[in-house]
Amino acid sequence: MEEYSVMEHNLVPEHYLLSTEEAKKIMKELNIRKEQLPKIRLDDPCILFLERKYGPINEGSVIKIVRNSDITYESVVYRVTVSTVGKTYVTTGGY
């Protein structure tokens, strides 16, 4: 059976793993903390795909998601990775 990559589907937006420095910069620009971001589970198919590209992704990593939009051309959102649903990620780094 042929393996299918979820990232190739036209309805799945692009996902990018941000470095710690990039995440800090975004949090500062948006004037928010990581725990205020919406969550994405580490077992999400898009995160599993990113792990094949970047290696292991830790809880608390920030993911940039770029969606195509008919109105604004593209929409950028950010998510913080969590291991379980309903878990609140608390950062000790202050960003």
What is the rounded distance in angstroms from the CA atom of residue 63 to the CA atom of residue 40? 8
Fold exhibited by the domain 6-82: Eukaryotic RPB6 RNA polymerase subunit (3.90.940)
With 90 as the cut, is the pLDDT of residue 94 above it? no
- Interval 39-85: pLDDT, tens: 999 999 999 999 998 999 999 999 999 988 778 788 999 999 999 76
What is the rounded distance in angstroms from the CA atom of residue 69 to the CA atom of residue 95? 29
The answer to whether 86 and 29 are in contact (CB under 8 A) is no
The predicted model scores a pTM of: 0.79
* pLDDT score of 1: 56
Beta bridge partners of residue 68, listed in sequence order: 74
What is the rounded distance in angstroms from the CA atom of residue 61 to the CA atom of residue 79? 8
- Interval 9-23: pLDDT, tens: 566 789 999 999 999
DSSP SS3 for 18:
coil
